[in-house]
Chains A and B, each alone.
Chain A
Amino acid sequence: RLSHQWSTKDVRHQVAQIVADEVAAANVELDIKIFPSKSLFKPREQYRPLSRGQLDMTVFPLSYAGGQQPSFNLTLMPGLVKNHDHAARLSSSPFMAALQEKMAEDDVMVLVHGYLAGGFVGKEKCITSPSDVAGLQTRAAGKSFEQMLVGAGASIASMASSEIYSAMQTGVLDAANTSSASFVSYRIFEQVACYTPASDIALWFLYQPLLMNKSTFEGLSEEQKSALLKAAAKAESYYLEEAKKQDAASVKVFQEAGVEIAEMTTEDFAAWQAIAQETSYKNFVESVPNGQALLTMALAVK
């Protein structure tokens, strides 16, 4: 049983579908049943059933489980990942190996690595540098981003991503940050003046791997395991290619809606990162035992 929160059109569903199809084609008596659109568990409530074996697999933003394993908060840290190729290098680094050790404590393993990027939207103006958000009511995805934005002088309003659209429309919100896919699926382009997408450099990257219960995997026969791993490898390269296409596709949708497209300069990026150093990075290191070592490992990946 595989559960995730997205619709069947989403790239993350496709990743799950590839694994299910490939395994079925391998004919190893392994049938993966996908429960999309949170039809089984609520998004944030998938990790614990997974770790207890009540759920076998999930496509899951790992930072959701940051309250259970604080080190997972590093998988949604501003400026830690620069672009998709960098993300791929990060996935195969000692940093990710350290995180996988943490997952193993919960009887969880990674089948398919993958990062998705996101950007900023502004109702009235473009959000590129930290000074742009000062005084704006902003909705951020993830606590490390909230901390950084507060550091930049923004006011944080917390709400579900499904409420962004109407909050932008009525003027409750001035700015928001989330994934490229969510911007498109919630049709945020209808309500904003400017979009700052992920391009050569981007602040917002979220690690959303396909996870599996480790004991369940180890209980499989050798053929089943190898079929699963082969399927996972195929899905992983698809995931990376699609992740890159998503950003470009979102830009096209916003452009067609007549929204201005802005770009972050290297200086902007450095300015954001400087704020993040003082806020979210600092907070992470202080609140997580062994946090500095993990952060150093992540920053060491070039």
Chain B
Amino acid sequence: MSRYNRRRATNVIVLTLSLAATGLGLLVLFLILGSLLANGVPALRIDLFTQATPAPGNQGGLANAIYGSVVMTAVATLIGTPIGILSGTYLAEYGRGTALAPAVRFINDILLSAPSIVIGLFIYQVMVVRMGHFSAWAGSIALAILVIPVVVRTSEDMLNLVPAGLREAAFALGTPQWKVVVMVTYRAAIQGMMTGVMLAVARIAGETAPLLFTALNNQFASTDMDAPMANLPVVIFQFAMSPYADWQRLAWGGALLITFTILVLNIFARMLASWSGATK
């Protein structure tokens, strides 16, 4: 084979392999979504949303777990978002030239990828042990710690995208800096910052590991934030690992519910981001 043909053949092989790699990634995505639909759709009955988790062999649904997930995710987002936005503001607006800003940025990026189960251990140590019992508060705080780095990162990025001219125009009118940030910069970046919050919600909605040692689980419907609370991920974990077919069916139903909520949040967040002009 001539040198030219050999080079062309190598080229075709490499490009085919890269095509195959992409195909493989997409195939796995569709296989996962497909099996979720195939196993989850039969479990999607009205009972799923109206009845509490059953004992094995009994009729029941996931109502208490859905309630717990929604409440804890909401509380975690409410706690984590302001903290994240304010520290993101520091990095974008006040951090220039300080030694603190690069350090915070560095640590924040590590927290972004830190194992979530370790966050669960941390909250167990500082809250569950002190209070003497598992509680929905502890679960919410653990999730809030996961929200913070996501929101810090996106707020800083989005605030940096606001054109300097907008701030300078406001300063030229004699506006104090905090008013410039709150009334001009935040308004210009609000869509992007909402994207960050949505991505954070999508991230914590399916988190299981940090809840195992904090909110634990609850067989019964409970609205007490100071007591253990059922939540979808932990119920899915418990039911899927059980030998009971009806529990496993509920686990698939819950899995379908959680995945599609998260995918919709993700896709919506991306659309919001591209409308606001920020690509990525």
| A and B part of one assembly | no
Where the two chains meet, the residues of B that have a C-beta atom closer than 8 Å to any C-beta of A are none
Where the two chains meet, the residues of A that have a C-beta atom closer than 8 Å to any C-beta of B are none
